[in-house]
Amino acid sequence: MTAPADGTAAHGLSPDEGRDDERRSPAHCGACRGARPLLTGLLWLVVDPTAGGFSASLLGAFLLIGTGLGLSAVNATAMAVRDSAEGEAGLLSGLINTAQQLGGAVGLAALAGVAIGAARTETGAGISFPTAFTGAAALITTAIALSLIPAAATRSAPDTAGAR
């Protein structure tokens, strides 16, 4: 196994490390390593959104969310390009980055709509931040569950009909 250029293997974050059954357990899942602190930070904001001031309520949650997002992005890119053909890793990395940016924009718009809609039914006006954070936590929990499902082997044999 060669180490990826982004250094993920040096930090124990390589999606190739460990056996297949070991990688699928929640304790060893590469995708779960970033999702767990992200989920913890979001749930922290659901329980205590801003009641104790910045340092007591928000700083810890923001540090967990930032750590989780950073670890998740590295793992998502590493897993997406690990089986790519030579010369295609840059293209795949760009596509993953574009999908993450678009998904973030659409997800933020959807969660904002949920938060505004929930606030109107609860108080009549405003934004219900705990409802938005609960929705985001539900999406992260779904992503963790989906990452534990084994992927079907779709790799086909190389086409050598035209090669001489």
- Alpha-carbon Rg for the chain, nearest whole angstrom, is 19
Q: What is the 3-state secondary structure (H, E, C) of 54-73?
A: HHHHHHHHHHHHHHHHHHHH
Spatial separation of the C-alpha atoms in residues 145 and 76, rounded to whole Å = 15
Tokens of 122: 């609860």
For residues 99 and 161, what is the distance between their CA atoms, to the nearest angstrom?
A: 34
Average the pLDDT over 40-58 and give the result: 77
Three-state SS at 88 = coil
pLDDT category at 8 given cuts 50, 70, 90 is very low
Query: Backbone dihedral region of 126: left (phi > 0), alpha (psi from -120 to 50 degrees) or beta?
Result: left
Where exactly are the structural domains of the chain? 24-95+130-147
pLDDT tens per residue, range 88-98: 888 888 898 89
Residues in the chain: 164
What pLDDT was estimated at residue 105? 93
What is the reported pLDDT for 1?
A: 40
- Pair 136, 64: CB distance under 8 Å: no
Over residues 140-151, the pLDDT tens digits come to: 898 888 878 876
